[in-house]
Structure 1
């Protein structure tokens, strides 16, 4: 029986990247729908689950993507609400690659810290975006003491509150308008992840070089200028200023492995929901 993946994307055009990765991960056919709204979800999901008997539904799965985490979460909620009894299929939730990217970045930082971040001080720069919030939440889940930065105090406070509720803990937020304000934070931090937008430098080399307490730095931005000056996109534990550094491409290799492994896992059973936590556990085992 053919493995069918239903791709639901709130953007007008469904992601070609996600579709190609799905094929590479073993899907036989990807049915891609763009511009999907809340009201569209039940009909699309029911069309997927009523065509096969419960024993065969492991061969059908859902991928929920798009560029917006908030809109994606609405689609995810709608999909889960459309299931009943044995009529359900497995779901991978990864809007804009945020869950797989965050999971891969955190795995790299955890390994650099010796495999355990309990009690470690972790700083997530631009921690209110999709990757930043997910990474901060995963670090909190693993027992780290987490701070996120934002240019906007209200935005940062809201994100920290939501993170604490979702991942069961407390996240501190710090308003940081530029790299010049970072030195005090870096004196506190042991692990640093830059999760800002493409082409925006968040941290100058002078701010983090020589910080004796730093155990690892990572940056998910691949577009120059990188988020952390002084590291390279290809860094994968490369010593920079005496500190293990991870760039976007160094992180991206594991992100792609996790993405493909998650797609493959969807077709093993029909009751999985792979969100940030599940994707992290999968990436950590690779």
Structure 2
């Protein structure tokens, strides 16, 4: 029986242990990780995957692009796909820093909690300039919501908003919100509030989000206390709090892990799969 081989191209110096474990749990028979992968050096690695097997055996080789930097991962992902031609290709997935699977799980569960439709609703992603926040903003906007991301510095936040528009073709508002008062102002009138900030920093207090009448759903990606959204619990999964529905990091984490494992398995269904944000989010919605 042909072994299912997954080659992990990581933009960090050391390939992610988390991604290796999930790869095995997802069905890979053997995982080989390479660190410090760049668009300039990935070509030789790709050649090793596409020229060694043919016919039905080719689908048993796949590539996973990871690392802590989504921009670097996107560059490697694009370089990998450019190396393919004709039948010389294998399936490939991008999930730098777990950003695609995490954001997809969070947004899919929020849309489900909202009854399956968020068109016309206002969504705010607090501290949305990082990979998970940017991916979440894009997915929310593609669902028809009006989306804003906040950040400490307006220029940096606007740069992130512009990058989302360039990559996904959706318009995102950039809002400078360096303190609690400005973040409270940012969620005024919002229906969905996401927190995508750094570990150990509360972005919005329980009092400030619970008193905002428009807020229907709050989602926090931080599992370590203090959480980004005060007054919720990491295990919340559409739990009612103050008349609103709360989703915590561990509440969405089950779907995130199941999604990641399922995608690994799907890489070996054929040699022509390509999983980035859009494909990953579509599957998350089916699984939510």
TM (norm. structure 1) is 0.98
Residues 111-164 of structure 1: CA distance to partner in whole angstroms, max 9, x if unpaired?
A: 111101111111001111000000000111111100110101101111111212
Whole-Å separation in 2 of the counterparts to 1:186 and 1:73: 30
1:54–1:45: structure 2 CA closer, same or farther, 3 Å change rule?
farther
SS of equivalent residue, structure 1 residue 119 = coil
**Is residue 16 from structure 1 mapped to residue 22 from structure 2 by the alignment?**
no
Tell me the residue number matched to 2:197. Answer: 196
Structure 1 segment 122-161 matched on structure 2, within 5 A: 122-161=123-162
Query: In the TM superposition, what are the counterparts of 1:71-82 in structure 2 within 5 Å?
Result: 71-82=72-83
Q: 1:54 Cα shift?
A: 4.3
Aligned residue in 1 for 2:186: 185
**Structure 1 runs of 4+ off > 3 angstroms?**
none
Cα distance in 2, alignment partners of residues 176 and 106 from structure 1 = 22
Equivalent residue number for residue 271 of structure 1 = 272
Q: Matches of 1:48 and 1:203 in 2, distance apart?
A: 47
The answer to whether structure 1 residue 69 and structure 2 residue 42 are counterparts is: no
Write the distance in 2 (CA, Å) between the matches of 1:222 and 1:244: 17
For residues 74 and 200 of structure 2, what CA distance do their matches in structure 1 show?
A: 27
Q: Note the residue ranges of structure 1 that are not aligned, 5 or more in a row.
A: none
Q: Which stretch of the first structure deviates more once superposed, 206-215 or 2-11?
A: 206-215
Distance 1:57 1:199 in 2: 45
Does 1:49 pair with 2:46? no
Q: What is the CA–CA distance in structure 1 between the aligned matches of 2:207 and 2:5, rounded to whole Å? A: 51
Inter-partner Cα distance in structure 2 for 1:187 and 1:25: 41
SS at match of 1:157: helix
Displacement of 1:10 in angstroms is 1.2
Q: Which residue of 2 aligns with 1:239?
A: 240
TM score, norm. by length of structure 2: 0.97
In structure 2, the residue matched to 1:101 is 102
Partners in 1 of 2:71 and 2:186 — Cα distance? 29
Query: What is the Cα-based RMSD across aligned positions, in Å?
Result: 1.0
The CA deviation at 1:186 is 2.2
Q: Secondary structure at the match of 1:196?
A: coil
Q: Which residue in the other structure is 1:35 paired with?
A: 36
Q: Distance in 2 between matches of 1:181 and 1:35?
A: 39
